[in-house]
Amino acid sequence: MACGFCHDSCCSYGVDVGADEIMRLESYADALGRYIGIPSAEWFTREDSPDSEFPGGSYARTQVVDGACVFLKRAGRGCWIHSFCLERGIDFHELKPMVSCLFPITFDNGLLLPSDDVEDKSLICLSNGPGLYQGARSDLSYYFGEAFVSELDELEEELLQSVQE
């Protein structure tokens, strides 16, 4: 959330949201709807896609409104869900979609990997700021645990040492 030069271009296409995540967001529908000025009926595409890797076993996509995710703040920057949580003392992981939290890391077929935006080099902030792993490290710890992150830390250290040799 510390970047600012790209005007949140990564939020241009909306985001996949697991069925369980949608239910948690909808439990705040009235308050969040008032907060962002958009009713919950307009948040998601409602085209449910089965996928066992998502919380709840399926996902839908957020609506794209005026060229960006419905939850993107148009004045200022950042995510309405994230701000809503911070202002109310809610851990943003509880409501913000996992795909958003981990970006530009994603998951597919049981693997964590760079998102397509990284692979095709269209991510505007690529090469600026921390590396992909360091940028997502705290969120990876939240979702997968400290033991997982410790193992990744060891792999990162080995990789950095091999690059220096």
Q: Mean per-residue pLDDT for 38-44?
A: 95
| 1 inside domain | no
| 46 inside domain | yes
56 contacts 23 by C-beta, under 8 angstroms: yes
Kindly state whether residues 17 and 36 are assigned to the same domain.
Answer: yes
Instruction: Please state the domain count of the chain.
Output: 2
Both ends of the chain: CA-CA distance in Å?
A: 34
- Amino acid at the residue 38: I
pLDDT digits (tens, 9 = 90+) for 90-117: 999 999 999 999 988 889 999 988 887 7
Q: Quick one: pLDDT band at residue 164, thresholds 50, 70, 90?
A: confident
User: What percentage of the chain carries pLDDT values higher than 70?
Assistant: 87
Q: Mean per-residue pLDDT for 113-138?
A: 75
Q: Quick one: pLDDT band at residue 37, thresholds 50, 70, 90?
A: very high
C-alpha span between 97 and 20 (Å, rounded): 10
Q: What are phi and psi of 133, to 5 degrees?
A: -65, -50
Helices (H), the chain: 19-26, 29-36, 80-88, 98-102, 116-119, 132-144, 146-164
- Its domain, for residue 22, covers 9-129
Kindly state whether residues 101 and 160 are assigned to the same domain.
Answer: no
- pTM of the entire structure? 0.85
Q: What is the mean pLDDT of the chain?
A: 87
140 contacts 105 by C-beta, under 8 angstroms: yes
Q: Is the pLDDT of residue 9 over 70?
A: no
